[in-house]
Amino acid sequence: MQTYLFLAAALTYAGCALLAVRQGALISAFTAFGWLLHGAALWSDMRAPGGLRFGFAIMLSAALWVSVLAYWFENRNFALDGLRRLVMPCAAAAAVLPVLFPGSVFQLAGQSSAFGWHIAVAILAYSILTIAAFHAVLMALQESRLHTRSPAAGWLGGALDQLPALLTMEKLLFRLIGIGFVLLSLTVLSGIVFSEQLFGAVLKLDHKSVFALLSWVLFAALLAGRRWRGWRGKTALRFTLAGFATLVLAYVGSRFVLEVMLHRAVA
C-alpha cells in the first residue's frame, strides 16, 4: 500500500513543479495533497513490529517531506515560487527512494522511550537545514542574476525575478539556520547520551559523529560570524552549503555507503 502512496506523492509533487506561477491556489492544493500522501506513506513504511524501519532513503524522504511543509508555510508570507521549482522535483525523487531502498528494521526493545524523540529531532534538524540549503542556492542564483542583468527566461528564470529582495531572503535564511542549529545541537547532545547506552562510550568517533560535529562547528561559526563580524553574502552562502554538505555526509551519505555499496544493515 505504501508503495502506491509514495508513487502518488511523487507524481503530485512533479505536477506541482510544472504548474505556472499564476496558478497559486492550485499550487497550494497540490502541495498540501502531495504532502499528506507522502506523510501517510512514511508513517506506514516506518512502522514495523517491535521496531522502526530506518535507512538513508527513509531519512532523506522524511527530510524533504518536512521541507515541503516549510516551503508551504513560507510561501504564504513571501513570493517564493523559485523555491517551489527547486524543492518539488527533489521531493518527488525523494518520495520514491524508500520504495527502491527500504532500509532495515531497528528494534526498539530495551531502548529508552526518548530514543524516538532523538530520531525525530534529527530528522527535523536535517529538514530545516535542507530548506536553508535550498534558500542558499536560490540566493546565489538571484545574486548572479542581478550581476548579469539578463532578462527572465527559462523554467527558473521568471521565478527568480519574483523572489523577495536579497536582504529579505537573507533574513529568512538566518532564521532557518538559527532554528536548524538549535535542533542540530539537541541532536548531537542526545546522540552522545544514546551513544553511551548503545556502545558504552560517551562519544563514538565514527564517520557519522565526525561529520555531524563538523557540520555543527560550521553552522556555529556562521552564526557567530554573523553576530559579531556581520558575515553575509557569499561568505554566509559558502558556510551554509559547506555545513549542509557535511550534514549530508553524516546522516545520509554514510548510510548510503553502508546500505547500498557495502550491503550492511545499520541502526
pLDDT one-digit tens code per residue, 15-31: 998 888 777 788 889 99
DSSP assignment of 208-261: HHHHHHHHHHHHHHHHHHHHHT---HHHHHHHHHHHHHHHHIIIIIHHHIIIII
Higher-scoring residue by pLDDT: 220, 148: 220
Terminal-residue alpha carbon distance, the chain: 25
Alpha carbons 14 and 139: distance in angstroms, whole number: 23
pLDDT one-digit tens code per residue, 220-255: 999 999 889 888 888 888 899 999 888 888 776 555
Residue 180 grid coordinates? 536548524
The C-alpha angle 211, 214, 216, rounded to 5 degrees, equals 110
- Span of 90-94, 132-136, 195-199 with lowest mean pLDDT: 195-199
pLDDT confidence bin for 191, thresholds 50/70/90:
confident
Check pLDDT > 70 for residue 131: yes
Do residues 64 and 95 touch, judged by C-beta distance below 8 A?
yes
| DSSP for residue 128 | H
Alpha carbons 78 and 70: distance in angstroms, whole number: 12
